[in-house]
């Protein structure tokens, strides 16, 4: 199975800092078109997102789940299927004891990607990650997944020093000019 792993904030939606309410969630232009093209090309879609706002007490896990349900329903309306959303609520400097520790899922660690590979039989060599931070890129490379840095979100801060395989303007550029070439 080939797959695309998607970071959320900065790739799918505008990163407004700890986005956790439906009214603050704003899809980037071209997201639906890009994901539809990936799906039509046979890629399974996964979201892998750090959500340290849970550990640091900015919002609850329930807030995150509610927003995720909204996002998935919007994708469903467009005929897009997200296989699974993997998220890391942890941060070693958090204030919520349940989530305050160093883990192996918080990017740049690759636990979320590795879990998806194991859970769904994903072939890393036929898969990609799209992210807007170097931590996304590092996590992908730990699992031998090609990584694309997009300039949306925080991506422009990393373009001069990234280890990404490709750099794209946004998610649609990543899909049309890099992923669909393979």
Structural domain for 109, as ranges: 3-181
Q: Is 132 a catalytic residue?
A: no
Give me the number of domains the chain comprises.
1
Name the active-site residue from 9, 132, 136, 170: 9
The string of pLDDT tens digits covering residues 102-152 is 999 999 999 999 999 999 999 999 999 999 999 999 999 999 999 999 999
Average pLDDT of the residues of the chain: 97
Determine the Cα–Cα distance for residues 148 and 17; give it in Å rounded to an integer: 22
Coil vs helix vs strand at 151: coil
Q: Is 104 a catalytic residue?
A: no
The phi and psi torsions of 82 (rounded to 5 degrees) equal -95, 120
Determine the Cα–Cα distance for residues 58 and 37; give it in Å rounded to an integer: 35
CA atoms within 13 A on the CB side of 149: 23
Report pTM.
0.97
pLDDT at 182: 75
User: Which CATH number is 149's domain given?
Assistant: 3.40.50.1000
Determine the Cα–Cα distance for residues 111 and 104; give it in Å rounded to an integer: 5
Name the percent of the chain in helix, strand, coil, to the closest 5: 35, 20, 45
């Amino acid at each position: 199975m080939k797959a695309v792993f998607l970071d959320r904030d900065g790739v799918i939606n505008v990163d407004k800092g700890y986005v956790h309410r439906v009214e603050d969630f704003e899809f980037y232009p071209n997201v639906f078109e890009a994901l539809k093209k990936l799906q039509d090309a046979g890629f399974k879609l996964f979201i892998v997102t750090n959500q340290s706002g849970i550990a640091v007490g900015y919002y609850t896990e329930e807030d995150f789940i509610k927003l995720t349900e909204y996002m998935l329903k919007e994708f469903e309306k467009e005929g897009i299927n997200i296989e699974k959303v993997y998220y890391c609520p942890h941060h070693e400097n958090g204030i919520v004891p349940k989530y305050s520790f160093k883990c192996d899922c918080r990017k740049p660690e690759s636990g979320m990607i590795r879990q998806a590979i194991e859970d769904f039989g994903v072939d890393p060599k036929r898969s990609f990650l799209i992210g807007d931070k170097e931590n996304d890129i590092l996590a992908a490379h730990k699992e031998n997944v090609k990584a694309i840095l997009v300039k949306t979100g925080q991506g422009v801060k990393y373009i001069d020093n990234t280890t990404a395989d490709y750099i794209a303007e946004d998610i649609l550029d990543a899909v049309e000019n890099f992923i669909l070439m393979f």
